[in-house]
Structure 1
């Protein structure tokens, strides 16, 4: 491999991402400390020698989190933070020790060891009156939080074991209609959910416009990744304020109840969902050309900024408007065959989204990136990766637009490489030798792919053999197909050093050909 495609792990440079915010009014930042307060009961002996039950307050500060909660954006206030609670801590152990000491000092001389703390189910109505006034004043009981949540129209859930929560067990924010997020955005409906979190449709109560909010899971690794995404999105918007390059624009971001939230324009469905709802019918060729031009332009813009997207796939391409017309087309060549309905988009305008995995070229590169079906061979072989991996993903996507289904449907590395050889031809000798040095378990002596292995299943062998070559998939029946096939071949080149760049692909003759309107 060439040196530019091999990367030694190194820590990313320090970033001031925690201080990033959308254009805002200058605000004073203050550090606020949060406490989780719980209650338990112990028995003590008072001065008269009588037993009594005492409520003990145990307050333990949670792990610190970096939050831009004090940021004010577009003249609206930051999310509510609980008041500072700094009372001295009185633990069960201290209360028990005091009770034992008091018992030992009584005139009767009898010793009475303090029993273990009792646990009982508390009635929420008792919490406000029976718990210490200081706890109620600071709004730390479950009942007090639930009342405040109800007053604010939030979706907090309270139980007998602890304070109210806005999250499920996996750290996802619980979505309910008409929930107010950051005191500005009123939720309408859930749009989608993934590993990172959820995306909801909401109404911006200040502008009365509908927006999409990506709500990141309240888990440190996802919060950290989202801050990198914020940094990338802010850079994209700064360098392309008019959005000529069709990447999603960040309107605002904030920290809401320990969830990083990214606000963007509300768009249509993703391209994969449109394919799915259209029974995976291929797009018309004029639409494929329009998609290809926009996608290559978007990715070329990222590469100019030294950014690699690393997760290009139809799920991360949104239609600006998914309005379509229904037409009837023959289902086969037979005249008597029933016709089927196919939906044709009215607009091919798209936006590239999901920069949570985007990586600056000069920063740390993880060993594995990209969703399996769109993963470049150099990533599978552990040879390092750079800008060309995005070009390979785009080649896979364009073939999927042409056929309606994913080009490589597998979940095994060796099987995936075998499918690539079926589709793209044999690996170049130089590339195969590099791969054999990095992953010898995938190769025979002489640098040939070791497929099929004895343990390969019959179905796996059948799946590999059923893969057609690019020439069979894109039949060169006319100049448009011949030119499209040439472009795809250059994008789906094994060796990243020989693969066409996205900037070069934009200048391919395919884009100068007029494509007639067809279904």
Structure 2
């Protein structure tokens, strides 16, 4: 109960840090300061790495700002931290450019996962002929028992931009451009039989950090506030650490809660359509400024889905695993009887049908956008639009 209330009030969601679509070869394994300096090109030999330190108790790499990561990279700051490790803002002395370096924890399971991720990223880069909107990996190396992956440096995530604007929605024309690029990247991955499994605004980054400020007049006062909009709509998809091959054995739970498809909650198995559901949730959030399903509990999550989209199909209920059967009674959702709190019931009443949620923000684009969203947010996975089909939808045609 406390988790639901806290999550609803603070919108505490797992923040994702970098991951990318790469190509490249591992650099030489540089294990100590002496080897590092000896192997560096003459122009870099004066830039030696710091003395060895123990990792922190969780296996994270310990560093100080301004020091080196090998002789090649100068550490300028920390961009983010996650379960896997950290992402650092660095200066590449070879190429004379800023880069983002993901430093994986020195724990076996995370190192193994990082190597699998590198394989996925190299596969994405190998067949990327037209530009897939996936972030680029420059290279990777093993340094002091930490897998380090070097990426191009990008701008803030779409979630960060929403937060900066106090969760004011993006204009529909921008949502259209973001959605088109996101679906192009998802279609590319699905063509390669890859499933991202963790699509969300935190994992969609603007290519540029540049933005403009526009004045916004409040209707309730004479005050004028500014609203930020990106100068460029170009985005790239990141964080391929959870990407799965269609042919491999799938774990039972994937996706961040707010973007998790119903078939995952019901234990029916999942494949490419789970990404499509996530895209639908993302587009609603970009249009409205708020996550569509702000919940941390399965029954409430399913009840929210029914409130917005209609009842869960009976054939899906009949096939639900034993773990999910408890959410239903006599082939209907056990709601509100099974609600964990009165706050949960009150939160449900604030939701509305999808078309009504979108119509408050989308204006003239409402009809085509709602139609697209219903195609992406079908309960039955086999009935959802594919990414390629969605790209042909009228919403993505040039507006009249």
Normalised TM-score (structure 1) = 0.67
Q: 1:381 aligns with which of 259, 266, 270?
A: 266
Q: 1:452 aligns with which of 323, 336, 343?
A: 336
Q: 1:173 aligns with which of 40, 61, 86?
A: 61
Structure 1 residues 459 and 22, CA gap change in structure 2 (3 angstroms): closer
Question: Does 2:236 match 1:340?
Answer: no
Q: 1:205: Cα distance to partner?
A: 1.2
Structure 1 residues 468 and 275, CA gap change in structure 2 (3 angstroms): same
Q: 1:439: Cα distance to partner?
A: 2.0
2:82 match: 194
Q: 1:428: Cα distance to partner?
A: 1.9
2:248 match: 363
Q: 1:452: Cα distance to partner?
A: 2.0
| Paired residues for 1:399-414 under 5 Å | 399-414=284-299
| Paired residues for 1:185-224 under 5 Å | 185-224=73-112
Q: 1:330: Cα distance to partner?
A: 2.1
Deviation digits for residues 361-382 of structure 1, max 9, x if unmatched? Answer: 0012000000000000000111
Separation (CA, whole Å) in 2 of partners of 1:499 and 1:22: 32
Separation (CA, whole Å) in 2 of partners of 1:82 and 1:344: 45
Separation (CA, whole Å) in 2 of partners of 1:169 and 1:311: 27
Q: 2:72 aligns with which of 184, 188, 203?
A: 184
Structure 1 residues 512 and 225, CA gap change in structure 2 (3 angstroms): same
**Which deviates further from its counterpart, 228-237 or 474-483?**
474-483
- 8 A contact 2:209–2:230 mirrored in 1: yes
Deviation digits for residues 264-321 of structure 1, max 9, x if unmatched? Answer: 1011111111111111110011100000000000000000000000000011011111
Q: 1:78: Cα distance to partner?
A: 3.3
Question: Does 2:23 match 1:78?
Answer: no
- 8 A contact 2:268–2:321 mirrored in 1: no
Structure 1 unaligned regions, length at least 5? 1-20, 25-70, 84-149, 158-164
Separation (CA, whole Å) in 1 of partners of 2:325 and 2:51: 54
Q: 2:125 aligns with which of 233, 237, 251?
A: 237
Structure 1 residues 309 and 23, CA gap change in structure 2 (3 angstroms): closer
- 8 A contact 2:260–2:274 mirrored in 1: yes
Q: Give the structure with higher Rg (CA).
A: 1
Separation (CA, whole Å) in 2 of partners of 1:305 and 1:283: 31
Question: Does 2:48 match 1:152?
Answer: yes
- 8 A contact 1:269–1:318 mirrored in 2: yes
Separation (CA, whole Å) in 1 of partners of 2:218 and 2:51: 49
Q: 2:217 aligns with which of 314, 330, 341?
A: 330
Structure 1 residues 229 and 414, CA gap change in structure 2 (3 angstroms): same
Q: 1:475: Cα distance to partner?
A: 1.5
1:473 partner SS: helix
Question: Does 2:381 match 1:496?
Answer: yes
Separation (CA, whole Å) in 2 of partners of 1:155 and 1:462: 57
Q: 1:454: Cα distance to partner?
A: 5.0
Deviation digits for residues 94-124 of structure 1, max 9, x if unmatched? Answer: xxxxxxxxxxxxxxxxxxxxxxxxxxxxxxx
1:271 match: 158
1:430 match: 315
- 8 A contact 1:250–1:263 mirrored in 2: yes
**Which deviates further from its counterpart, 184-193 or 469-478?**
469-478
Q: 1:406: Cα distance to partner?
A: 0.7
Q: 1:510 aligns with which of 392, 395, 398?
A: 395
2:208 match: 321
Normalised TM-score (structure 2) = 0.87
Structure 2 unaligned regions, length at least 5? 1-21, 35-45
1:469 match: 353
- 8 A contact 1:78–1:182 mirrored in 2: no
Deviation digits for residues 141-169 of structure 1, max 9, x if unmatched? Answer: xxxxxxxxx99342644xxxxxxx1x211
Separation (CA, whole Å) in 1 of partners of 2:308 and 2:209: 32
2:315 partner SS: helix
Separation (CA, whole Å) in 2 of partners of 1:239 and 1:299: 14
Structure 1 residues 261 and 441, CA gap change in structure 2 (3 angstroms): same
Separation (CA, whole Å) in 1 of partners of 2:319 and 2:389: 26
- Moved >4 Å (runs of 4+): 21-24, 476-479
- 8 A contact 2:47–2:72 mirrored in 1: no
Structure 1 residues 251 and 23, CA gap change in structure 2 (3 angstroms): closer
- 8 A contact 1:155–1:175 mirrored in 2: no
Q: 1:81: Cα distance to partner?
A: 5.8
1:258 match: 145
Report the aligned-residue RMSD.
2.2
Question: Does 2:232 match 1:281?
Answer: no
Aligned residue pairs total 367
Q: 1:175: Cα distance to partner?
A: 2.9
